[in-house]
Amino acid sequence: MSETAEASVKNAAKEPAEPLFSTKNKKLLTDPLNDDNPITIQVLGICSALAITVQVKQAFVMAISVLFVMIGANLIVSWMRNLIPSRVRIIVQLVIVAALVILVDQVLKAFVYDVSKQLSVFVGLIITNCIIMGRLEAFALGNKAWPSFLDAIGNAAGYGWILIAVAVVRELFGSGKFWGIQVIPDSFYEMGYFNNGLMILPPMALITVGIIIWIQRSKNTKLIEEN
């Protein structure tokens, strides 16, 4: 080995390793929760927010499913990033995501069949979820496993909390329930209260997401786009 190469190795060995939860890595977890949320800021994954947020249970199961798929896909693509030919990277990513989604679908059918039946084709559509494919292409292909793992958790959590928040509002006001359990007392109905049937229709999911976007921008003016 030449002296220059030896010096490079020694210098690399002397450089301190980046902390697991450095400021940069913490941002991978926190930014998608608000400032860079995949649904309200990047406007990705809207379809599932409209379709499966009638009940909190469905939204929670979908959020956990996406979390599992994102973590698995990000890690696998990150580990294989130097082996995947650029020309077929999209196909490889789709195959990885599809395999993980099939695994999730089979687990749901085995343990929560009723929820799996309610989610219907939307579990399979995780394969083409823009959030997952976007993070694989924009992040996992160019970063190591640990940052990719944190990025997956952050974006899945950002996606999941929006789904659950929308589902809480829709199920509570649409059917008076939470997680399928009646929470609005019968006395309210006896006094003339009625469930809002509009809340269980898809347009109300979009309106609820819009309200969340408005609240986010009201609290954080830097998210407001300039005309």
Rounded to the nearest integer, the mean pLDDT of the chain is: 80
The pLDDT, as a whole number, for residue 18 is 63
Look at residue 16 and give its three-state secondary structure.
coil
- Gap between the Cα atoms of 217 and 34, Å rounded: 10
- Closest by CA to 128, choosing from 41, 191, 213, 69, is 69
- Closest by CA to 122, choosing from 199, 196, 195, 205, is 205
- Gap between the Cα atoms of 124 and 101, Å rounded: 7
- Closest by CA to 134, choosing from 205, 209, 219, 36, is 36
Domain definitions of the chain by residue range: 39-222
pLDDT surpasses 50 at 156: yes
Split at pLDDT 50, 70, 90, the class of 71 is very high
pLDDT surpasses 80 at 159: yes
pLDDT in tens, 90-123: 888 889 888 998 898 888 888 888 877 777 777 7
Specify the pTM: 0.80
- Gap between the Cα atoms of 226 and 224, Å rounded: 6
**Who wins on pLDDT, 4 or 16?**
16
Percent of the chain with pLDDT over 90: 6
The pLDDT, as a whole number, for residue 5 is 44
pLDDT surpasses 50 at 170: yes
- Gap between the Cα atoms of 180 and 114, Å rounded: 12
Burial group, residue 122, by CB count within 10 angstroms (0-12, 13-18, 19+): middle
The pLDDT, as a whole number, for residue 223 is 66
DSSP symbol at 221? G
The token duo for 32 is 């998608």
Instruction: Identify which of 45-49, 104-108, 177-181 has the greatest average pLDDT.
Output: 104-108
- Gap between the Cα atoms of 207 and 203, Å rounded: 6
**Who wins on pLDDT, 21 or 129?**
129
- Gap between the Cα atoms of 128 and 149, Å rounded: 20
pLDDT in tens, 5-30: 454 444 444 445 566 667 777 888 88
The pLDDT, as a whole number, for residue 72 is 92
